[in-house]
Amino acid sequence: MHIDLLILTAMHEEADAFTPHLQQVQEVECPLAAGSTATTVTARTGLLTTANGQQVRCAQVTTGIGTAPAATAATWAILTFAPRIVISAGSCGGLASDINVGDVVIGETYSYSLADATAAGYAHGQLPGAPAVFEGHASASAVADAVADTGAAVRCGLMLSGDAFVTADKAEPMRELHPSALSADMESTALAHTAERFGLPFLAVRGVSDLCSPRADEEFSIGLDAAAEASAAAVLTGADLLV
C-alpha cells in the first residue's frame, strides 16, 4: 500500500478533527492495538480533501502519548503504508514568551527537550549519534505563509518534545536552553527522528492549546478540540504544497 500523507496524532480527539474531511474511509487492523483507550493505536486510510478541493491519499494513525509510543506506531505505519510524507498533527503547549493560545506552530526544526548528553560533548537536546536538530520539510515556511493567508496566526521555527509536561517551573529553564523554541509537545521530535531514519520528509503542524508558563493577564487555554481543529485546518491548507 502506498499513500501520500501519513498523519499522526497522539490522541483520538486530535484525529477526530480530520474526520469530516476524509472519504472512502477504511479501518486498518493494527498489531499495536492492545492497551487502554488512551494508548490504543488505531489506523485508517481514506481520501483527504484539502482546502483547495484536491484529494490526496491519506493514512491516519493515533499513536498514543509520548515519544516511545509515537515512534513505535510511526515505524509500523511507515512500513505498512509507505507514505511520501509524515505529518504530526494535534495540540501543543506554547513555550515562547510571545506565543498565544490558538496560534498554529509549524516546525522548521525539532529537538528533544529533555535529552542531555552535554557531558559527552553533545548539544542539549541532542541524542548521541543523532543530529543536533532534525530538519522539517523543505516547504515548512511556504506552508506557514499559506496558513497565514487564511487569517490564522502562525509561527514557524523550533519545536521541542519530551516525556514531561512543561509546567511553569520547567518552562523558564527550557527557554534558557532553547531560546528560539516556540512550543513543547510529547511526540513531534520522536516522529521527526523516526521519519529521518526512513529517509522521509516530516512536518509537525500543531495548534497551541495552552501556555507552558502563562502571563497573569492572558487567556492560557482554549482546549484540546479547538487546538486540534486549528491544526487540521492548517494541514488541509498546506497539503497541496507537500504532495
- Is 79:30 a contact under the CB 8 Å cutoff? no
Beta carbons within 10 angstroms of residue 34's beta carbon? 9
Residues annotated catalytic, as ranges: 14, 210
210-226: burial string, b at 16+ Cβ within 10 Å, e else: bbbbeeeeeebebebeb
CA distance 68 to 70: 5
How many residues does the structure list for the chain? 243
| Dihedral, 110, 209, 32, 29 alpha carbons, nearest 10 | -110
- Is 136:108 a contact under the CB 8 Å cutoff? yes
193 contact partners, CB below 8 Å, separation of at least 6: 71, 110, 127, 130, 134
**HEC sequence for 180-229:** CEEEEECCHHHHHHHHHHCCCCEEEEEEEEEECCCCCCCCCECCHHHHHH
149 contact partners, CB below 8 Å, separation of at least 6: none
Q: Which of 163, 21, 178 is nearest to 97 (CA)?
A: 178
